[in-house]
Amino acid sequence: MSSATSHVNAAVQTPITQAMAEGALTRKELKALMQRSNSPALLRLLAWFCVVAVTAYFIWLAGDSWWLLPAMFLHGIVLVHHFSLQHECCHYTAFRTRWLNDVVGNICGLVIMLPNRFFRYEHCDHHTYTQLKGKDTEMIELPNSLGGYFWYISSVPYWKAKFSELFRHSLGELTPAEKKFVPKEERKTIILEARLMVLFYAVVIVASILLQSTVAIWYWFLPVVLGEPVMRAIRMTEHVGRPMVYDMKTNTRSNIVSLPWRFLCWNMNYHAEHHYASSVPFHALPELNRKLEGYIHVEKHGYLGAHVDILSQLLGRSPRQDKNNG
């Protein structure tokens, strides 16, 4: 193969073409895995509503007792995992019916203050430039200190960024970085989306004041704030501490976790598999995991094991993988 041909192939390489070229998957296997259906997501949604109702009930049971904080924290962990469902909807893989992905994705976005359409464009560049510094729009860098590690998990930087983002967009402003991944013809839609979200939250706040109700505070706002550090910690396990290279075999980490966590994250613990073939729906990711066994980076000790790895690098007990840029 000529050097020119090699250059062209490298330029158009995608995770899927890489997997097939290296023998990890056949086109027939991939096609079978990519089959979408409404049923798995609808059944899981039914169970999801039940879990949300149960954890909300725990808050009601706790009343003014010291159990209130743990109950809100538990409820918050469930609420922030609406991100996982929204993420699946942004790929249009949660449901076969396209409009269901849009409706559910937008509802999830309202729960966790993440504009659905904007997130879809931002997330597209994350997949295109995974772990490439300066290009990956969602890149979480390996902290340089324990202070930076806990500061990120605290979620303070996250909420600061999200409030700033929503405020700017509602005023009709996008940063130069955002304009790179949001198509020009979509910018007005992104601004409208932000304004509608602000209007929605304003209506909830005004209605709560007029009705003298604290339901939104105890069952929504505070739980989400309490639960977000758990989501930040989980998001770190996906790429933080992995080499900053294009190769999907090394730049993404999958985590073997228990059934409750797999339920909450909609199988997104199989993150390397998802990056290999983002068109594979959540319910087929366990099978894709079996197909890619021994081919991708898997943390068998789950989220805890991933953080042990991250902290080991951060504290200098093992080489920092962010210095490995191929």
DSSP string, 76-140: HHHHHTHHHHHHHHHTT-S-SSHHHHHHHHHHHHHHHT--HHHHHHHHHHHHHTTT-TTT-TT--
Lowest mean pLDDT among 7-16, 94-103, 161-170: 7-16
Lowest mean pLDDT among 7-11, 102-106, 177-181: 7-11
Statement: residue 77 has pLDDT above 80: yes
User: Quick one: average pLDDT of 46-53?
Assistant: 98
**pLDDT recorded at residue 1:** 38
pLDDT band at 12 (very low <50, low <70, confident <90, very high): very low
| Burial label, 259 (beta-carbon count in 10 A; 0-12, 13-18, 19+) | exposed
Most confident of 20-29, 132-141, 300-309: 300-309
pLDDT cut 90: percent of the chain above it? 83
Q: How many domains does the chain have?
A: 1
| Burial label, 241 (beta-carbon count in 10 A; 0-12, 13-18, 19+) | buried
**pLDDT recorded at residue 4:** 35
In this structure, are residues 301 and 256 in contact, taking their beta carbons and an 8 Å threshold?
A: yes
In a domain, 219, yes or no: yes
In a domain, 8, yes or no: no
Dist CA 223 CA 80 (whole Å): 9
Residue ranges making up the domain that contains 234: 19-312
In a domain, 326, yes or no: no
Phi and psi, residue 130, nearest 5°: -50, 125
Dist CA 311 CA 69 (whole Å): 28
In a domain, 317, yes or no: no
| Burial label, 195 (beta-carbon count in 10 A; 0-12, 13-18, 19+) | middle
In a domain, 10, yes or no: no
Statement: residue 72 has pLDDT above 50: yes
**pLDDT recorded at residue 248:** 79
> pLDDT for 173-221, tens place per residue?
999 999 999 999 999 999 999 999 999 999 999 999 999 999 999 999 9
- Mean pLDDT for the chain? 92
| Alpha-helix residue ranges (DSSP H) falling in the chain | 3-12, 15-21, 27-33, 39-62, 68-80, 82-90, 98-112, 116-128, 146-153, 156-170, 176-181, 187-210, 215-216, 222-239, 259-264, 271-276, 285-291, 302-314
User: Quick one: average pLDDT of 99-104?
Assistant: 98
Spell out the residues 6+ positions from residue 230 whose beta carbon is closer than 8 angstroms to its own. 76, 77, 80
> pLDDT for 277-326, tens place per residue?
899 999 999 999 998 888 889 999 999 999 999 999 999 999 999 876 65
Dist CA 30 CA 40 (whole Å): 19
In a domain, 7, yes or no: no
In a domain, 324, yes or no: no
In a domain, 11, yes or no: no
Instruction: Please state, as a whole number, how many other Cβ atoms lie within 10 Å of the Cβ of residue 164.
Output: 11
Tally of residues, the chain: 326
User: Quick one: average pLDDT of 92-109?
Assistant: 98
Dist CA 16 CA 21 (whole Å): 8
pLDDT band at 11 (very low <50, low <70, confident <90, very high): very low
User: Could you tell me the pTM of the whole model?
Assistant: 0.92
